[in-house]
Amino acid sequence: MDDKARIVAETLEPNAIISEIARRYGLRPQQVFAWRREARKQAASAQQESPAFVPAVVTAPPPEAAPTRPARARKREAARDAGVIELEIDGIAMRVGRGADAKTVAAVIRALKAMS
């Protein structure tokens, strides 16, 4: 390892004080900082040039369950739910029925967004 690399490595140690290290080797701290910048750039370009492989995890979506309610029940439910708004924000569902106060609904939506 050449002197320059050894000095830069020494500055990377925990609690290293660069001005003291530079003084010990008869250098200016600015020169040592420049060497550190150069070493970081070289390390970054070396990482960019080498290909990297990351593990890919593929999971199948869960099977959809067959509807368990008869069609007639769905029609009654649809009639009962007429005028109902259903929101889903990050997996949290919210149903807003007729006559709901707009300010309250807005406050609940803001709270849901803040939680996500």
pLDDT the model gives residue 84: 75
| Distance from C-alpha of 28 to C-alpha of 20, rounded to nearest angstrom | 10
Query: For residue 85, which of 77, 94, 73 has the smallest C-alpha distance?
Result: 94
Q: What is the pTM assigned to this prediction?
A: 0.40
Residue 105, classed as helix, strand or coil, is helix
pLDDT the model gives residue 9: 92
pLDDT one-digit tens code per residue, 41-52 = 888 776 666 555
pLDDT the model gives residue 76: 56
Regions of the chain where pLDDT drops below 50: none
Residue 68 resides in a domain: no
Residue 32 resides in a domain: yes
Residue 70 resides in a domain: no
Integer-rounded Cα Rg, in Å, for the chain is: 32
Give the dihedral sign, CA 99/105/107/111. Answer: positive
Residue 61 resides in a domain: no
How many independent structural domains does the chain possess? 2
| Distance from C-alpha of 113 to C-alpha of 116, rounded to nearest angstrom | 5
pLDDT the model gives residue 32: 94
pLDDT the model gives residue 92: 72
Q: List the domain range (segments joined by +) for residue 32.
A: 3-49
Residue 85 resides in a domain: yes
Residue 39 resides in a domain: yes
State the SS3 of 13-61. Answer: CCCCCHHHHHHHCCCCHHHHHHHHHHHHHHHHHHHHHCCCCCCCCCCCC
| CA within 13 Å, CB half, 86 | 6
Tokens matching residue 88:
């889903």
User: Phi first, then psi: what are they for 97, rounded to 5°?
Assistant: -95, 175
Residue 58 resides in a domain: no
pLDDT the model gives residue 7: 93
Residue 66 resides in a domain: no
pLDDT the model gives residue 10: 92
pLDDT the model gives residue 15: 92
* CB 84 within 8 Å of CB 95: yes
